[in-house]
Structure 1
């Protein structure tokens, strides 16, 4: 008998004449291969079931699963990482009007398609607006060219040629600068020749005289009140508003009525003779002359309403009033 690969060719059944040890080895090998095949098949079935569960409910065994689309990742970041810490915002697409969820407040469109279509629409509207403006300009130029051949013009047509408004043309007609004739209640005609002859005899250009600003004796500026009565600008404005002192504008300056302002400060105990005083003193000088502390000086000037003024941010007090109250100096 001839032996091929452990099988005797003359046997009636496959491996029937094999030794017992060889038959056992063959059986064990077949069983192992079958177990491996069944295990691989079970793993394949489990993977398919898991994938179906994830697709349908996105949950499996009580856990939340995230499907990562590796084709849409940017810079190696997963979708879960990019979405971490961000809350979706419900927005309405400015192009199609559909609602969508965005993760930025600056997002205006629901998709790249709507973004592209909206951009094209904006550009189309810009082209339409430019075309309409050019068409209107050409129509206006044609109208002016057509009017140039007319001998008699209405007020509106003359305004178109000159580039003025109708009221300006009427004003010059009333002044006699532009000759015109009123044919009826609603019709005024101007000769084109009269408009052209306005520039035939051109004289020297007249410069309008500029009036010099004159100081008004009956009014105070805020700087005058500050210098005279020694109070700040915001305090002056408060006094003007509370006492209803008349004011008016002189260019950029605010003027206050002189008599009302003087009456208010006179009522508060301000002596007009303090304006003509040659001397003012500071708080340090008062401390030196009368042996007072700084706190005592402030209490004294506040209690007796000593006139004061501020020069370059420094307070000065009236010597006359202090000497009248305190007597001789040291």
Structure 2
């Protein structure tokens, strides 16, 4: 059964004008129809692959949320920030960690509680004033006076949350803070 209908259409593939014999014709030729089919097939494969990737990410995310202790990579994926930012938070003493060899472990509840604190509170912390050079030790002076290595000294400073002051090329620490720590250890 043939049709005597002649409809002017624009091809979906090549955008050229053609005369169609049915109301459902979309393409001007077999070549354009084949191109469109291949493009639809290719796009379907891409969409399927993207969906599989997204479902894998969600499953990974759910596995991370189920764990009580996570490493830095998992924490960065969970929160959506870089690993370096997580390490900066750790260096500032804002996140508690546990070390197992070279591996750094964070409690998920600590991470969540850190990000639940309003940012204004953390910004409005009182800044300790510089006590003056006569009331401060340089890092070298502390090492010489108390016989401690640079790495151990920085760990003590970080662990106790002691404020360091950078002036020029030197780092200074208040004498009263250091004396309290090291005199308490000598006793």
* TM-score, normalised by the number of residues in structure 2: 0.45
The structure richer in helix per residue is: 2
Greater relative CO (CA pairs within 8 A, separation 6+): 2
Larger of the two Rg values belongs to structure:
1
* TM-score, normalised by the number of residues in structure 1: 0.27
